[in-house]
Amino acid sequence: AQRVTQPEKLLSVFKGAPVELKCNYSYSGSPELFWYVQYSRQRLQLLLRHISRESIKGFTADLNKGETSFHLKKPFAQEEDSAMYYCALSALPYNTDKLIFGTGTRLQVFP
């Protein structure tokens, strides 16, 4: 069965500290992984996807198939990064057949 696990409900850091939001997945096939972000009073929106291998707002995420992980990292957190972050898995690459989300991690960045 497909499953996404985000073990931390809340992560609090000070501005300038490194951030790592954990995500593990369970899927027997070849998944596509995403990170979505929901800022206060805004819509849930795509932050980045693993196939793009890009850095968005200083965030990066590397797919580790051996550990079935897709952790989101940023070396220096900013206050504006405070938001709810969801890791998501799509059943087939380039084909959003079934988009499954984890339970989310709330990131709080203190000044």
**Helices marked H in 11-111 — which ranges?**
none
Check binding of 43 to other proteins (CB under 8 A): yes
CB of 87 to other proteins, least distance (A): 10
Number of neighbouring beta carbons within 10 Å of residue 85: 23
CB of 111 to other proteins, least distance (A): 26
| Strands 10-14 vs 105-110: parallel, antiparallel or unpaired | parallel
Using CB under 8 A, pick the residue from 12, 26, 45, 55 that binds other proteins.
Answer: 45
Under the binding rule (CB under 8 A), the answer on residue 100 touching other proteins is yes
Non-local (6+) Cβ contacts of 102 within 8 A are 4, 5, 6, 23, 86, 87, 88
Answer positive or negative: Cα dihedral of 34, 37, 43, 48.
negative
* Interacting residue with other proteins among 46, 64, 79, 110 (CB under 8 A): 46
Q: Which residue in 28, 30, 95, 111 binds other proteins (CB under 8 A)? A: 95
Residue 39 phi/psi, 5-degree rounding, is: -80, 160
Query: Looking at 11-19, 54-62, 67-75, 94-102, which segment touches other proteins (CB under 8 A)?
Result: 94-102
Residues interacting with other proteins, by CB under 8 A?
A: 6, 32, 36, 43-46, 49, 86, 90, 94-104
